[in-house]
Amino acid sequence: MLLARVRGRATSTVKHPSLRNQKLLVCVQLDSSGEVTGDPMLVIDQLGAGAGETVIISSDGRGLRDLIGDTTTPARWFTIGIADPTGVTLKG
């Protein structure tokens, strides 16, 4: 799992069949201090994240294949959470 910032959406006229009807985000990884690190990556989003938001992403291949229902997808990253913008952490 990584923290990433959403830069915007990606669109494509030609894509793998498993990516049809999937919202694709362009995200950049964040380090522990919230600074951008690494190259942009495509992330499948089914949570409704938008530009500027901080998301939690995963590269769990099986989880992604189960999420989109396709074992042949070339996708790697998907959102598993949207970070709380207030920075408040709830304790159980």
- pTM for the model: 0.84
List pLDDT tens digits, range 2-33: 999 999 999 988 999 999 999 999 999 999 88
SS3 state at 18: helix
Provide, for the chain, the percentages of residues in helix, strand and coil under a 3-state DSSP scheme, each rounded to the nearest 5.
10, 40, 45
Name the CATH superfamily, with its identifier, for domain 2-82. Answer: EutN/Ccml (2.40.50.220)
Domain map (residue ranges) of the chain: 2-82
